[in-house]
A and B are shown apart, each in its own frame.
Chain A
Amino acid sequence: MSDLPLIQADRAVPPPAPVTRTGGRGRRLRLLSTTDRVVITLMVLVPLLLVVGLIWLPALATVGLSTTNWDGIGSLDTIEWVGGRNYRDVVNIYPPFVPAVQHNLLWLAVLFLVASPFGMFLAVLLDKELRGSRFYQTALYLPVVLSLALIGFVWQLLYSRDQGLINAVFGSNVDWYGDPGVNIWAVMVASGWRHVGYIMLLYLAGLKGVDPSLREAAAVDGASETKAFFRVIFPVMRPINVIVLVVTVIESLRAFDLVWVVNKGRNGLELISALVTQNVVGEASRIGFGSALATIMLLVSLVFITLYLATVMRENRR
């Protein structure tokens, strides 16, 4: 193969000599015929238009709308630019905002500090050669296949005040989903129940990929199992750690289904995602205002998405 296709064939093919520059365009075109080039363009363009049109442009539009006072009903000419007013209003005169931010942060803290480490801990235990490991794993990641909306219903059977198991066993009379003092914890337990299994799976895969000689070397050096894990194994799993971090942040930012099935994100269960939705499909459609909330979510997520991309792309290039 001595010719350079219009789009250069990948690295395994030896880089063509500079001959191609002088070598004649005719032969280059023959390698990728017109049909081929049309096919390639379509293969990329159709999915790209879908993703740009339905995801990236709306995301940009959200940012744009957040600086306007549009009510969502009038035609687009009625839009007035209001600068940062929506953001000031969100922070200053919108009572659910502060609790929502607190709840999102609490959600993140619980998933990150409790559920993720527990998932990792279980993965480490299950990575040993154990009898019945398959059973343990299956039990732990079974909740991962259930939707969070369904999980809300499943846990209602434990949480309900009059018919729930918890109150029946402990003789308490708490409305676990209704009482604004405890309901955020109740839904976080349900959400953590699912998260642990997912994280365990990710780490289990990560641990299987760790070079066994590292462990042997650590054992030869007389390091205890715990020490070997934290000093040797954990650091080499850096890509998985980053992915778990990003997954956890994104999950806590996206948390929505569970609180929406419980009470549409009110009364102790405020989350930013639920506030955005309330402002759009709810009784009052405050577009600019809702967009400001959505933009905040977008910016936070983009920071971690960038981190994720940087990690996985670097891994791929290796």
Chain B
Amino acid sequence: MSTATMTREPDRTATPARRPLRPARVVLHLFLNAVAIGWLFPILWAVLTSLRSYDYTAKNGYVSLGGWTLDNYVTAWRTAEFGKHFLNSVYITVPAVLLTLFLASCVAFVIARFTWKFNIILLGLFTAANLLPQQALLIPLFRLFTQVPLPAFMSDSELLYDSYWGLILINVAFQCGFCVFVLSNYMKALPRELYEAAMVDGASIWRQYWQVTMPLCRPALAALATLEVTWIYNEFFWATVLMRTGDKFPVTSSLNNLRGEFFTDNNLVSAGSVLVAIPTLVIFFVLQRHFVRGLTLGASKG
């Protein structure tokens, strides 16, 4: 992958072609508008439903207007204890993302900096790990996690099972692969003269990594951080199977427990869904550029 594709933001969209609309174009726009609105619809519908009172929609049906209220959000927040679960998500996501980026950049640096006959095997081991189906590792991991003791001050379960530490570790192990792949490609594109200059200055390997390579990787790191925050926040499977205490579930997996409580009230379900979606939507709109670049970084060579 060339750095050129990553840094050059094509601004075709910023300068729309100023030519008269041909009929074919009109059809194209109509089609794309219909698809775009159709695509947004489920989300818009969730927002709309969440803003209406259950009593009103129960009486008048959902195909109606009125009964506007914010009560669903208040009730959902309280019943589902979202405050606590959001905090749990933070406890897991923030350390996991930082650790993933740190460990992955270390491996990527070595792979990119040195020619070593094991490089390709190393890269393969990491990249493939990210693509394995999680369920294929579940059985031994489950057993392992229930056997590894942790001191009580680290987790009240005194095991890796049912602890934030366990979830952080497995998320890091899984996500490292993707980041190693992207970062090593990015680092390989950096000019090698940098290292020669650094070596002439007598910089140690650690300083070359930390003070030469890492600052230059900021764009890739920003894209990966955005992506990894979203992915780890959205992670559902590991938290579902490796956690037991309801109070410790991160937001995404706590959704499943809401099912019972909210079962009869779709307006509450929608308010809960919107609340859970808000962090990812904020990331999406604020850091859209990074998000998109991160996704395509891994796939395209440009």
- Partner of A301 from B136, B256, B292, B295 at Cβ < 8 Å: B136
How far, in angstroms, from A205 to B181 measured CA to CA in the complex?
A: 18
- Chain A residues with Cβ below 8 Å from B177 are 51
A87 contacts the other chain (CB 8 A): no
Residue on B with the closest CB to A64?
A: B140
Residue on A with the closest CB to B301?
A: A315
Q: A222-273: which residues lie under 8 A (CB-CB) from chain B?
A: 239-240, 243, 246-247, 250, 253-254, 256-257, 260-261, 272-273
- Chain A residues with Cβ below 8 Å from B212 are none
Contacting pair B255 A261 (CB below 8 A): yes
How far, in angstroms, from A304 to B210 measured CA to CA in the complex?
A: 35
Q: Contacting chain A: which of B35-43, B66-74, B215-223?
A: B35-43
A binding-site residues for B, Cβ under 8 Å: 1, 5, 7-13, 31-33, 35-36, 39-40, 43-44, 46-48, 50-59, 61-62, 65, 72, 122, 125-126, 128-136, 138-150, 153-158, 160, 163-165, 168-169, 193, 196-198, 201-202, 204-206, 208-209, 239-240, 243, 246-247, 250, 253-254, 256-257, 260-261, 272-273, 276-277, 280-281, 287, 290-291, 294-295, 297-298, 301-302, 304-306, 308-309, 312-313, 315-316, 318
Q: A-B pairs with the 7 shortest C-beta distances?
A: A147-B234, A205-B296, A139-B36, A61-B140, A43-B106, A12-B192, A54-B173
B binding-site residues for A, Cβ under 8 Å: 1, 5, 10, 12-13, 16-17, 28-29, 31-33, 35-37, 39-40, 42-43, 45-46, 49, 57, 61-63, 103-104, 106-107, 109-110, 112-116, 120, 122-129, 131-144, 169-170, 172-174, 176-177, 180-181, 185, 188, 192, 195-196, 199, 204-206, 209, 230, 233-237, 240-241, 252-253, 255-256, 259, 266, 269-270, 272-273, 276-277, 280-281, 283-284, 288, 291-292, 295-296, 299-302
Question: 19 extra interchain contacts, Cβ-Cβ under 8 A, other than A143-B43, A202-B299, A277-B138?
Answer: A10-B115, A32-B205, A39-B205, A47-B180, A50-B173, A55-B129, A55-B132, A55-B137, A58-B141, A136-B32, A145-B291, A146-B43, A149-B236, A168-B63, A247-B299, A254-B133, A294-B133, A294-B136, A316-B188
